[in-house]
Chains A and B, each alone.
Chain A
């Protein structure tokens, strides 16, 4: 049983490091673009006039 848990935690730790690194690049690139789009959308909305 202990061997199973040793294997399990080894997979979880190295899997987490790999997942964090992958998310860093993927979310980093796409999230940056979404911030630019968010600002553009908000600017266009605010240019249209005050809220009803």
Chain B
């Protein structure tokens, strides 16, 4: 094990403080509105901390470091696109403005006002399916980081996953969004300290000019040790790197993420008012460049480090190289701080996601089925039980699902199951008066076809015949828009024909 006593003490202290802070807020919860959207009392800076902490998980650090290891700094381009999308939406209020004004608790709830109960229910199903599948790999990938950075035996992975989840469940189930906001704030602080210190130590260890030089030589094949990078390390538009097709898909995908991804929108809905929500987006936008760029730095540095140390040791791959590299270069004490920071990242993301998906199941799948709304206490109990149920599902899914290939592509494509269709519905509901429920149903179904085909086909065929993620992703947006236009047009023609007969 690479951890010293001081590292273990730092991690233990962090977990205790975090759990205490989460439990501290539980007595203020008196209804589902407090539990799900913190009574809509969230102010600007708390919102920035919560948004930043939730959207930067240990899984984010792992997949972006993997992008850095395989594609160099060009892998951080997705972060630049996301920051641009955040700023654009914060500046214009596109989607988030009318969404916050509507006073809903979830996105599907808005669809009921425009398209009816069936569309709300169907959209809720897609949101939960995409969201929970997306979250399914968080625990395993997070556990992989901890196992490799601490040097613990691999069979500890499952125990670490379950232990982490138990702590998160405890304060999320009791305090809901109020606990999540306070723990997110603490986790934001410790995560930022950890990322800033690690970045400075990585640059000091390898040297900035040396890193840039090594990446370039690995690309043009002039390294003495023969290590090669298959992708251009700096230019994302180069055909060997991400390429135009991937970047265009990502530009659209990121606009959909910042306006539709329910965990992010929950912060908009928790905000005191529309202006607070927009300001939160604008001020947090550049944070999303660092969310990708700093872990990409760790991954690129891990590539350069292992290339000059005889290659990756057995048992390591592009995903686990970064934690092994950090364990090798970070001194005692700092390693504990970094692990606490990464635990903070994991826990804030898990708690935010658990709560969000449970709220959607409660609000959009179960509530429309009740003829008479249950008592407030029953509603709260139901939401808490749903948080626990998702937690149990995550443990089993995390243990059983074996993730092949690039983590980012898996996350982007599973997220796309609902992003493309729900984004189309949201834009149409808010800005297109002719949209109707026929178009909404067609968009939901057609938008999910691309990502589901990607998941099923790629799990069965060899690497040479797999569907590219940008093809699956871009086609789902195109199909969803097509479904909305065609369905709305056919639906309105049918209504006109019925009225005239």
Contact = CB atoms under 8 A, between A and B. Distances in A.
Nearest first, the 6 closest Cβ-Cβ pairs linking A and B are: A16-B290, A5-B234, A30-B45, A9-B73, A24-B192, A31-B45
Interface residues of A, number: 35
B225 interface: no
A37 to B, nearest CB: 7
22 contacts: A5-B235, A9-B76, A10-B208, A12-B80, A12-B293, A13-B294, A16-B289, A16-B290, A19-B290, A20-B195, A21-B196, A23-B48, A23-B192, A23-B287, A24-B193, A27-B49, A30-B44, A34-B46, A35-B185, A39-B25, A42-B39, A51-B376
Among A20, A24, A32, find the residue whose CB has the most chain B CB atoms closer than 10 A. Answer: A20
A18 to B, nearest CB: 9
B189 A17 contact: no
Interface of A: 1-2, 5-6, 8-10, 12-13, 15-17, 19-21, 23-24, 26-28, 30-32, 34-35, 37-39, 41-43, 45-46, 50-51
Given A5-B235, A13-B297, A43-B28, A27 B43 contact: no
Nearest to B190: A24
A15 B293 CA distance: 10
Contacts, number: 108
B46 A35 contact: yes
The dominant DSSP class at the B interface is helix
B99 to A, nearest CB: 22
A17 B46 contact: no
A27 B49 CA distance: 7
A43 B39 CA distance: 12
Interface in B26-49: 28, 30-31, 34, 38-39, 41-46, 48-49
Nearest to A51: B31
Given A16-B294, A19-B287, A20-B290, A35 B235 contact: no
Contact of B30 (A2, A10, A41, A50): A50
Contact of A27 (B30, B188, B235): B188
A43 to B, nearest CB: 7
Nearest to B235: A5
Nearest to A2: B234
A32 B185 contact: yes
Interface in B311-329: none
A32 to B, nearest CB: 7
Interface string B184-224: 01001100110110011000000010001000100000000
A20 B284 CA distance: 10
B388 interface: no
A38 B43 contact: yes
Interface string B379-400: 0000000000000000000000
Contacts of B287: 19-20, 23
A24 to B, nearest CB: 4
B212 to A, nearest CB: 6
Given A16-B294, A31-B45, A42 B196 contact: no
A4 B46 CA distance: 37
B49 A31 contact: yes
A8 B39 CA distance: 42
Contacts of B76: 9, 12
Given A2-B235, A19-B286, A24-B189, A42 B297 contact: no
Among A13, A28, A50, find the residue whose CB has the most chain B CB atoms closer than 10 A. Answer: A13
A17 B45 CA distance: 19
Interface in B12-68: 25, 28, 30-31, 34, 38-39, 41-46, 48-49, 52
